[in-house]
Structure 1
Amino acid sequence: MAEKPHYVGHRERLRERFQKAGTEGLHDYELLELLLTYAIPRKDVKPVAKDLIKRFGGLSGVLDAGHKELEEAPDLGPASATLIRLVKGLCCCYLAERMQRRDALCSPQAVMDFARLKLAGLPHEAFMVIYLNTKNEVLDHEIIHEGTVDHAVVYPRRVVESALARHASGLILIHNHPSGHPEPSMEDRRLTRAIADAARTVDIRVLDHIVVGKGGHFSFAENQLLSNAT
């Protein structure tokens, strides 16, 4: 009887450790390794997982990577790339559902977690709006622009029209800085003011503008800049 490859027993031990201790019981590369076992059934995937962590700078970098970037990594095919992208997508859906119909001001961490997962890893700028009802509960969210974010391309009128279509009474503006530093630029401040001015004409409030980067986030409300913008 042929002897089983050494990695078969290792996979079983990884699964057992995860079942007993969850993510706390495994290193980041082991979590990725365990995930890859479901897409690469007949190969030792520990070297693949370690290479991905090194290539993308960590587990978050792997999850933020695009499908093409993942496919170009050694020993990683379309099925594995799709599985990794699926995990990121499921995380976004989970956080969006947790945020839905909750008081955004009483649950700021839920909003922040969603915003960072959705935008922080993107290689380009994106501008997202979270729409709130009169109780500050989340009605919906929408990425309204991808590319350079400034007053010339993110039209305040479009933001207000989208809010009115959803019967929203409050807005949280969110965009990312791909460079990683979340400090808002003067253009960010001008754009915030323009949207807040347009929203005020129809009794819609801008409750915050959050800038996310790989190194953290910046909140206009937390830094008392929203009153200056509005």
Structure 2
Amino acid sequence: MPARNNAKKYKHQTKDQDERGHTARLRDRLLNSGSDTLLDHELVEYLLALTIRRRDTKPLAKDLIETFGSLSAVLTADGESINKVPGTDENSVAALKVVQAAALRMISQPMREQPVLSSWQALLDYLRADMAHLVHERVRILYLNSKNRLIRDELMSEGTVDQAAIYTREVIKRALELGSTAIILVHNHASGDSTPSRQDITTTKDIREAGEKLGIAVHDHIIIGKDGHTSFRSKGLI
């Protein structure tokens, strides 16, 4: 019996060493050869290995990418959805979300340091990274000052897979509270198609007309989808 126990212990130790060795090889490739040498699932695998000890995290990494469809979708998925994937826990969810938070902070820096209209591509990159893969609709309002610098980026509402509320009165009221002279409306289409709906067009018209009476301009309404984005101003809808 002791010999059998020793064999099990040795086998377990060997497996641990193999897993640590594999993780170390991923680390060395990342540090010495750059992130481009790692596949998407290997990036997730290494990240998970930092929080899930003594376990092969490759299967879980592959499961996450298969479940959500891509690396971007894994990082932008909400914590509750990630936690439903067998094998995840609060630490692994937090590790994925902190990477997303850091990436969004980095991407959004240009638009926070200069007028939004002169850092338009940075704004679009930020919005796509944050909203393109959401499974429900989210409405946010960017409030700008007279120099078109960002005063506040606020979440107005979260809805279902096919709708989220935008209230004209609340948008304009908040703009007045912040001393904002211009706004940019943003929401995503969870379906992935960024084509504006009839309701999107009507609501934007109502907000623009209400804002004009109070000196608040609507610079644009941007719809984010997996297929890209739609700008109302570019489409001549504003």
TM-score normalized by structure 1?
A: 0.89
* 1:189 matched residue in structure 2: 201
Q: Which deviates the most, 28-37 or 13-22?
A: 13-22
* 1:53 matched residue in structure 2: 65
Q: Does the CA contact (< 8 Å) of 1:101 and 1:139 recur in 2? A: no
Aligned pairs, how many? 224
Q: Which runs of structure 1 show a deviation greater than 6 angstroms over 4 or more consecutive aligned residues? A: none
Q: Does the CA contact (< 8 Å) of 1:133 and 1:169 recur in 2? A: yes
- Equivalent residue runs for 1:105-144 within 5 Å: 105-144=117-156
2:27 pairs, out of 15, 22, 29, with 15
Larger helix proportion, structure 1 or 2?
2
Gaps of 5+ in 2: 1-9
When residues 68 and 154 of structure 1 are mapped into structure 2, their CA distance, relative to the original with a 3 A threshold, is closer
Superimposed CA distance per residue, residues 34-81 of structure 1 (whole angstroms, 9 cap, x where no aligned partner): 111111121121122112111211112211222232222222222112
* 1:169 matched residue in structure 2: 181
Gaps of 5+ in 1: none
* 2:229 matched residue in structure 1: 217
* 1:87 matched residue in structure 2: 99
Partner Cα separation in structure 1 for residue 187 and residue 220 of structure 2: 11
The structural deviation recorded for 1:183 is 0.3
Q: Does the CA contact (< 8 Å) of 1:172 and 1:210 recur in 2? A: yes
Secondary structure, aligned partner of 1:100: helix
Q: Does the CA contact (< 8 Å) of 2:140 and 2:155 recur in 1? A: yes
Partner Cα separation in structure 2 for residue 60 and residue 76 of structure 1: 18
User: What amino acid is the match of 2:117?
Assistant: L
TM-score normalized by structure 2?
A: 0.86
The structural deviation recorded for 1:168 is 1.2
Partner Cα separation in structure 2 for residue 147 and residue 43 of structure 1: 37
| Aligned residues: CA RMSD | 1.9
The structural deviation recorded for 1:206 is 0.6
Superimposed CA distance per residue, residues 111-132 of structure 1 (whole angstroms, 9 cap, x where no aligned partner): 1122222322222211111011
Secondary structure, aligned partner of 1:105: helix
Q: Does the CA contact (< 8 Å) of 1:36 and 1:45 recur in 2? A: yes
Residue 44 (structure 2) pairs with residue 32 (structure 1): yes
**Structure with larger Rg:** 2
Q: Which deviates the most, 102-111 or 172-181?
A: 102-111
